Structure 1
Amino acid sequence: MALKRVLVALGGSRYMDSAMAEAVQIARRNRAEIIGLAVMDETLVDPAQAAPIGGGASAADLRDDRRRRIEEAIDDAIGRFERVLADSGLPGRAERTDGDAQEVLVEAMKLADLSIIGIRHAFDYGTVDHADDFIARVATASNRPIIAMPEGARPVSKVLVAYDGSMASANALRSFTTLRAFDPSLIRLVYCRDDESDPDAILAEGRGYLELHGYTVETAVLEDPPSTAILAEATDIEADLVVMGAVGRRGLSRLPAGDTAASLLETSSVPLFLRR
């Protein structure tokens, strides 16, 4: 499968620079175009939805001030993206849309081969001072691959693939393999033990698929809960990327707070490759 369009969320956060740098690396390797997307979400303007930017003002003044600051942040984010794009010499463009941020992003992802988003926030533009479940909700609302980027883009040499036999984990593994966005020297395929499945059989099917595509694969069964075991293993092998399904074997329609992917989105310092 050819990777020809990379979508990057222009959210203005400190993670945006890493997302843009990763998009450039992947697009250059695949001769792809990059689309930068900025979204003005009116819910961020309402002071009831987030902590006030200034104090002592009327609600109308506060909304006007917040809108002005967000508009300035959007202009800055688009300008930064356009400079990065020009320096890269790659084809692409910036797009700015008004609307519900989740709905706009999911719609834009339909015709993107890969979307790259800052790991904590996508379109907050400095109005939100805490992590939320935005990316988890986007990952489950769409059926497209996402890379959630922390700070610091880096070459991908070692990849940890969390595979539990679910459709979501199979989709993530297959998208990672067929997109060929990366060329790792080693893949470590892991399964978190439970009482319901045969880990050796599940790892064997995942390993067979990866080896069919020419990857060097190691396997391991992890004993601790997935939310802690996956990141611990990624740290132990110094993984540059974690690949996993956005939902587990139960086929949840949305990610609850305790779900593995949602938990990793809050804590990971390693890029996460997700797909439902």
Structure 2
Amino acid sequence: MAGRQSFPAFSPERFAPTPERPLRAKARLLEHLADIQPHRHDWAQLVFSVTGAVRVNTEASTYIVPPSRAVWIPPGIVHAVTAIEQCDLRTLYLGPELLDGDAWQMGRVLEVSALLRELVLALPSTPDPAPPETAADTERRRGIERLALIELQRARPLALGVALPRDVRLRRLCEAMLREPGRHAGLEDWAAEAGASARTLSRLFREQLGTSFAQWRSQLLLAHALTLAARGRPMSHIAAELGYASASAFTAMVTRTVGMPPSRFFAEA
């Protein structure tokens, strides 16, 4: 894609958590459609954007989140980040001993409270060697770290991830749908573009992802719709951008998928 930028992982080892600084914050500005290349590290990561929506990819899933949400990435998981729009990206690195339990071993979307957001913004975001801290600075930072950890443990998980397949043909199709979810509505049109039969792709969705094409696409559209709603887009604009002929057709899809109308879903999610 013309104008697309790709960046290395910005030396994450320079921000590696230590016993003295078990939580490390990092700030980075990304332009629209800029990519941070796939990478991994031995500590956990919380990634969110102060402004602008981001997409976080792992081998098994993709997560599309607006500023009020964050993606939790367990240690050792290969991941990449794409700016869906210009964004002020924030990352919180955590030592592996800070959060125990099976839930923290899986990638997921978490709600970012106003307090957690401000705490992350308040943490120093410079790599080592950082300017020497005064005793008062150290005490303040440790207090922020303790409270940030408490808020993170209280963060509500949200079912906004979209599973990705291993099959090369289906993966290519899913990636195309992620880039332009409203280009086609039916599997037949996507199949023609992918050079495979709709029957084959339908079977692959079931085998690889345990769901139908329609169910997978609905989850993808909900994730995109949430980012658009977070920008204050009216329902008619969201429906049109996602390929629906009318706001009522989009409303029917959301209600059928999550059991509530879009206005309530966006307010609660």
Q: Normalising to structure 2: TM-score of the pair? A: 0.26
Larger relative contact order, structure 1 or 2 (CA cutoff 8 Å, min sep 6): 1
Q: Normalising to structure 1: TM-score of the pair? A: 0.25
